[in-house]
């Protein structure tokens, strides 16, 4: 019936163009084939026609496929609204290896995150189109994959190496090799040569190390981005840092008393960061100007609190964001921090998870830092620095006792925040951490 319908169409309208649908349910993509010897028709028909098996016209194949439908191309995916290009860092597979659908075959390093290039279909990698170190944009072709090829055995199991002794040469070649083999002459003893000692350089010339003891590598894009942002922060903000110290006795006792019950109920450990995040939320609510930002000639006050947490990874510093921390409890904050830290260490953070943020907390104490002056994370207006906990002598009720103390630092933009607001902000954090009951009573 289908063949009679197609024949009838050709007889009635000789200038018609055959349009073949990709799907039998819904017309989505069209590919027109012009019949030989017939003029082109301006408007293709959006109908579905079934051709006999012997028809010379082939169905339209899926995106990124060759004409025969066997080869597909892996392309760079969309990398985010603010990311226009990236660097092809490395390939995870080799030509000739088998890959499955959606399996990563390459990694793209951007200014913020590392993105995987996945295989669109299951098959064998025919070749790589791009090279490591190339700058690529979304849609750039990276590799060609064959869906019907057989994996290269060289990548599956290396061939057994055979010794040259096990394969004897033919008689004629043996004679030739024996005739051409050079005669071994006795080694003559070389007389030692008198060498002149090197001239001593003048004391005024600096002694530089040799160049072969140096290594030059290209700077990763993430490190470039961090360097540019920090330098822009220094050039833009009028940064000033104020310090205070916190007695961690009560907070550490709280952790010790309830850590087991906390893990049993919430399936996550109770850390110090959640307490400082809640203390920062309380301080930002008391001093809303610290949560604000300068935009041209205006000041933008935010009625929401998104805390950015600085995480150091092997590739560089990343600052993922915990959204709406003013609506979270201790358990929600700990779960959010653990999830973002795992993604940061595995390079699985997305652009959205690092965008925004109204205030940043950096914990240099995990590396043993005693005191530091953190740099503001633009376009925010302030950053809190935590440091290591050290037993120090302090005066309590007229007596000198040893207490676990931590220095805290607040770096703020002095164009927007005055010293009064900064000191009161840091004082609020000190009061809440030293006596967490203030959060319960809201005092």
Instruction: Return the pLDDT at 82.
Output: 66
Structural domain boundaries in the chain: 1-60, 71-151, 222-441
**Distance between CA atoms of 315 and 114, rounded to whole angstroms?**
10
Q: What are the DSSP calls for 217-239, one per residue? A: -PPPHHHHHHHHHHHHHHHH--E
Proportion of the chain above pLDDT 70, given as a percent? 71
Catalytic residues: 414, 418
CA 9, 14, 16, 22 dihedral sign is: positive
- Give the CA distances from residue 70 to residues 52, 118, 140, in Å, rounded to whole numbers and listed in that order: 22, 17, 20
pLDDT in tens, 380-400: 999 999 999 999 999 998 999
Instruction: Return the pLDDT at 189.
Output: 52
Instruction: Return the pLDDT at 219.
Output: 84
Give start and end residues of each alpha helix (H) in 237-300: 249-266, 272-286
Give the other-Cβ count within 10 Å of 261's Cβ: 10
Instruction: Return the pLDDT at 156.
Output: 47
**Cross-strand pairs, 101:** none
Report, as an integer, the average pLDDT of 339-359: 88
Query: Domain 222-441, what fold?
Result: Chloramphenicol Acetyltransferase (3.30.559)
108 or 406, greater pLDDT: 406
Which residue, 324, 320, 296, 325, is CA-closest to 309? 320
Report, as an integer, the average pLDDT of 421-426: 97
Instruction: Return the pLDDT at 214.
Output: 85
Question: 98: number of CA atoms within 13 Å, CB side?
Answer: 9
pLDDT in tens, 208-252: 777 778 888 888 887 888 888 888 888 999 999 999 999 999 999
pLDDT in tens, 249-304: 999 999 999 999 999 999 999 999 999 999 999 999 999 999 999 999 999 999 99
Quote the distance between the C-alpha of residue 120 and its chain's center.
21
**Distance between CA atoms of 133 and 139, rounded to whole angstroms?**
17
- CA dihedral angle for residue 205, residue 209, residue 212, residue 218, rounded to 10 degrees: -100
Whether 80 shows a pLDDT value over 80: the answer reads no
Which residue, 315, 302, 317, 278, is CA-closest to 356? 302
Mean of the per-residue pLDDT values of the chain: 78
pLDDT grade, residue 43 (50/70/90)?
A: very low
pLDDT grade, residue 54 (50/70/90)?
A: very low
Instruction: Return the pLDDT at 186.
Output: 54
**CATH 2.60.120.890 is the classification of domain 71-151:** no
């Amino acid at each position: 019936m289908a063949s009679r319908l197609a024949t009838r169409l050709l007889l009635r309208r000789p200038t018609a163009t055959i349009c073949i649908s990709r799907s039998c349910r819904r017309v989505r993509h069209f590919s027109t084939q012009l019949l030989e010897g017939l003029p082109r028709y301006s408007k293709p028909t959006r109908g579905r026609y079934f051709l006999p098996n012997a028809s010379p016209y082939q169905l339209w194949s899926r995106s990124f496929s060759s004409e025969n439908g066997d080869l597909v191309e892996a392309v760079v995916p969309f990398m985010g609204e603010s990311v226009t290009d990236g660097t092809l860092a490395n390939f995870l597979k080799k030509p000739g290896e088998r890959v499955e659908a959606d399996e990563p075959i390459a990694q793209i390093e951007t200014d913020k995150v590392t993105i995987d290039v996945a295989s669109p279909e299951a098959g064998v990698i025919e070749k790589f189109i791009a090279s490591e170190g190339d700058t690529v944009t979304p849609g750039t072709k990276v590799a060609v994959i064959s869906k019907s090829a057989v994996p290269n055995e060289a990548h599956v199991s290396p061939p057994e190496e055979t010794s040259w002794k096990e394969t004897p040469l033919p008689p004629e070649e043996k004679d030739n090799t024996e005739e051409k083999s050079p005669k071994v002459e006795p080694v003559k003893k070389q007389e030692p040569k008198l060498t002149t000692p090197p001239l001593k350089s003048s004391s005024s010339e600096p002694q530089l190390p040799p160049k072969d003891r140096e290594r030059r590598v290209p700077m990763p894009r993430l490190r470039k981005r961090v360097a540019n942002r920090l330098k822009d922060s220094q050039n833009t903000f009028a940064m000033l840092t104020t310090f205070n110290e916190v007695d961690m006795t009560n907070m550490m006792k709280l952790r010790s008393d309830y850590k087991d019950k906390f893990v049993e109920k919430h399936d996550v450990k109770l850390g110090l960061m959640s307490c400082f995040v809640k203390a920062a939320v309380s301080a930002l609510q008391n001093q809303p100007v610290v949560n604000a930002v300068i935009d041209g000639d205006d000041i933008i006050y935010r009625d929401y609190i998104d805390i950015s947490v600085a995480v150091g990874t092997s590739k560089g510093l990343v600052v993922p964001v915990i959204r709406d921390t003013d609506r979270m409890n201790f358990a929600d904050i700990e779960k959010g921090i653990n999830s973002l830290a795992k993604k940061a260490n595995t390079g699985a953070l997305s652009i959205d998870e690092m965008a925004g943020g109204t205030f940043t907390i950096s914990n240099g104490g995990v590396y043993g830092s005693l005191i530091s002056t953190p740099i503001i994370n633009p376009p925010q207006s302030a950053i809190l620095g935590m440091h290591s906990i050290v037993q120090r002598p302090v005066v309590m009720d007229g007596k000198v006792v040893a207490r676990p103390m931590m220095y805290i630092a607040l770096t703020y933009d002095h164009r927007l925040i005055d010293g009064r607001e900064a000191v009161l902000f840091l004082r609020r954090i000190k009061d809440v951490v030293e006596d967490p009951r203030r959060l319960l009573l809201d005092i």
